Amino acid sequence: MRVITIGAFDLLHEGHRELFDYGYQVGLEPVFVGVNSDEFVRTYKGEPAQDQETRGRAVLSDHRVAAAVLHHGDTLHTIRRLNPIRTPALLLIGSDWHDRDYLSQLGVTWDQLRDVGIIGILYAHRPSDGPSSTKLRAQLREDYEEARQKVEGAAAFGDPSVYDEINRVLSYSQFGTEEDGCRD
């Protein structure tokens, strides 16, 4: 069964990888992904930490993803691109959308989804304390501000450790490390 998901996938993290894995397990084939465009992300979430090309490449690097296309906000067009022969498919979303009007967010009705082959919505459980791009962006801003203040303070006193702090901040890997289970 084809499984389709659409999202920003900004700062790809373990929660996203678990979503792909769940879709892969249910559909018994790799997942088809719509990656929200920068403009779409700005409209609903604010400035993305990564541009759409970087996010798309990160999504495609996951072996549980069959294909990814850019989603500009026209959900039906995106689904048609991911499911051109309209085979029965499930739309996969995180459980954080369970009590929210996901169809309104997408700008579609059930009848329209059925016309493009979607036969149901599959909710992937996501713990409320689990990883999120919003949390990661906030942590990055906090780390950056802390490092900036340290650098400014150390530079004012001629402290050579300022260069160690600069290197620590610059060595941050937005996709994690091999130890985190990430692969580039």
* CATH code where residue 48 lies: 3.40.50.620
Using CA atoms, how far apart are residues 21 and 26, in angstroms rounded to an integer? 9
User: 7: domain range?
Assistant: 2-124
pLDDT tens by residue, 50-62: 899 999 999 999 9
Do 16 and 95 fall into the same domain? yes
Task: Indicate the pLDDT class of residue 159, thresholds 50, 70 and 90.
Answer: low
pLDDT tens by residue, 87-143: 889 999 876 666 777 788 778 999 999 999 999 888 887 655 555 555 555 655 666
Q: Rounded mean pLDDT of the chain?
A: 78
Please say whether the dihedral angle defined by the alpha carbons of residues 24, 30, 32 and 33, taken in this order, is positive or negative. positive
User: According to the model, what pLDDT value does residue 172 have?
Assistant: 43
**pLDDT > 70? residue 152:** no
User: According to the model, what pLDDT value does residue 48 have?
Assistant: 86
Using CA atoms, how far apart are residues 154 and 50, in angstroms rounded to an integer? 30
7 forms beta bridges with 35
pTM above 0.95? no
- 144-151 average pLDDT score: 62
Do 13 and 88 fall into the same domain? yes
Do 102 and 145 fall into the same domain? no
Do 76 and 149 fall into the same domain? no
Do 35 and 99 fall into the same domain? yes
Do 91 and 160 fall into the same domain? no
Specify the number of domains making up the chain: 2
Name the residue with higher pLDDT: 45 or 177. 45
User: According to the model, what pLDDT value does residue 21 have?
Assistant: 93
- Residue 128: which residues within 8 A CB-CB, separation 6 or more? 96
SS3 11: coil
- 35-58 average pLDDT score: 90
Using CA atoms, how far apart are residues 28 and 31, in angstroms rounded to an integer? 9
